[in-house]
């Protein structure tokens, strides 16, 4: 199942820089492993914001929740999830 996920990151300004850097490094490794597995299909930065728009391809809501709550930056994020369904007018057969 495909999901559109908007993640707005709000790291507290008083978080020590070295702690923030360590969390961001773990976030990068975690997200890249998910991208390699095919579960995190696309990620785009939102210009001018510390935010991203991503497409996940996972089994169900529970798997998506497990993945998102496992993000090292999860405690500092506002997340919006939208389930996606193939549009009947879509011409591409290879992206469901």
* pLDDT per residue of the chain (96 residues) written in tens, 0 to 9: 999 999 999 999 999 999 999 999 999 999 999 999 999 999 999 999 999 999 999 999 999 999 999 999 999 999 999 999 988 898 887 666
Inter-residue contact 33 to 80 (CB < 8 Å): no
Q: Where are the domains of the chain?
A: 2-84
Reduced to 3 states (helix: H, G, I; strand: E, B; else coil), residue 15 is coil
What CA–CA distance (Å, rounded) separates 56 from 92? 18
Which fold is adopted by the domain 2-84?
Alpha-Beta Plaits (3.30.70)
Q: Record the pTM.
A: 0.91
Supply the pLDDT for residue 87. 87
DSSP state at residue 47: T
Inter-residue contact 3 to 81 (CB < 8 Å): yes
């Amino acid at each position: 199942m495909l999901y559109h996920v908007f993640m707005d990151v709000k790291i507290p300004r008083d978080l020590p820089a070295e702690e923030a850097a360590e969390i961001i490094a773990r976030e990068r490794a975690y997200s890249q492993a998910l991208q390699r597995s095919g579960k995190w299909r696309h990620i785009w930065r939102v210009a001018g914001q510390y935010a991203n728009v991503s497409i996940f391809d996972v089994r169900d809501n529970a798997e998506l929740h497990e993945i998102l709550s496992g993000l090292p930056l999860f405690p500092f994020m506002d997340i919006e999830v939208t389930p996606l369904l193939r549009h009947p007018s879509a011409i591409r057969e290879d992206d469901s």
